[in-house]
Amino acid sequence: MQNKLSQFFMRRRNWSIPYAIFLLVFVVVPLVLIVAYAFTDEEGAFTLSNFRKFMMHPEAINTFIYSIGIAMITTILCLVLGYPAAYIMSQKQFNTSKTMVVLFILPMWVNILIRTLATVALFDFLKLPLGEGALIFGMVYNFLPFMIYPIYNTLQKMDQSLIEAAQDLGANPLRVFTKVVLPLSMPGIFSGILMVFMPTVSTFAIAELLTMNNIKLFGTTVQENIYNGMWNYGAALSLIMLLLIAIMSFFSNDEDSVQNESGGVI
C-alpha cells in the first residue's frame, strides 16, 4: 500500500489531481448549481418561470439596461482618459519613471469599499450632490487602473522601430498613430474594455453608497434576491449576467486579459 502510494506520487502529473478535485468541487459544481437553480422552481421541478419573471418585471429589465448603460459610459470614459496616460507612460520620449505606473495601479490594491467611501467623502467635502454624477465618477475612479494597465502593457511591448519606419516613410504623427500605434494596441484596448465593463456591470453595494440608495444596479438586484431567499430567481439573474459577460468576452480576446491580470505589478 505504502509503496503503491509513493509510486503514485512519483509521477508528477498526478500532483494535479488534488487541485483537479478542488476545482471540480469549488468551481465546476457551483457553476452547474447556478444553472440548475435557474431552471428549477422551489420544489426542484424544471421550469422557465424564473426567466419569464425577469421578462415580465419592468423594474428588473430597467435596472439591467441601466446597468449596461452605466457600464458602457464608464468604459468609454476610462478608455478616453486612460489611453493617453498609458501611451505617455509607454513612450521613451516622455521619460516617465516606472514609479508612475505603480502610482496608477496602486488604487487597485486598496479595498474597493474604502475607495468608494473616499469618493463619497470627496463629494461631501466639495458639497456636490450624490447621484448619477457621483456614481460615474466613482466607477471611473475605481476601474480606471484596469484600463490603463493592459493598454500600457501592449504599448510597451510594441516594437518601436515600427513607428520609426512609418515616420521614415513620410507618415505624419496622426497617421503614425491611426495606422500603426492604434491597431497594434487593440489587444490591450480589448482587455481593458473587458476588465472595466465586467466589474462595472456586476458590482453591487457600490452604486447604493454613491447615490444614497437612489440608484440600484443589476448586481444589487441579484444580491437582494439571493438574500431574500429567492435562490432560483437570483440564480436565473446571475445566469443572465454571466451570459452578458460571456458575449462580451467572446468579442474581445480574453487570453490577454488573463495574462495581464496575473502578470500584476509584482
Partner 1 sequence: MITKFLAKAYLWLLLALLYSPILIIMIFSFTEAKVLGNWTGFSFNLYSSLFSGGMHHSLTNAIINTFLIALIAASVSTALGSIAAIGIYNLRSRQRAAMNFVNNIPIMNPDIITGVSLFLLFVSFGISQGFTTVVLAHISFCTPYVVLSVMPRLKKMNPNIYEAALDLGATPFQALRKVILPEILPGMISGFILAFTLSIDDFAVTIFTIGNEGLETLSTYIYADARKGGLTPELRPLSTIIFVTVLVLLIVINRRAEKQKQE
Q: The dihedral of CA 222, 225, 228, 231: what is its sign? A: negative
Task: List CB contacts of 220: < 8 A, sequence separation 6 or more.
Answer: 63, 204, 205, 207, 208
**In angstroms, what is the minimal distance from the CB of 106 to partner 1?**
6
Burial string for 38-76 (b: 16+ CB within 10 Å, else e) reads bbbeeeeeebeebbeebeeeeebeebbeebbebbebbbe
> Taking the complex as a whole, how short is the minimal distance between the CB of residue 175 and partner 1, in angstroms?
17
- Distance in angstroms (rounded) separating the CA atoms of residues 105 and 49: 44
Widest pairwise Cα distance in the chain: 75
- Cell of residue 143, nine digits: 476601474
The grid coordinates of residue 265 equal: 505589478
Nearest to 54 by CA among 249, 248, 230: 230
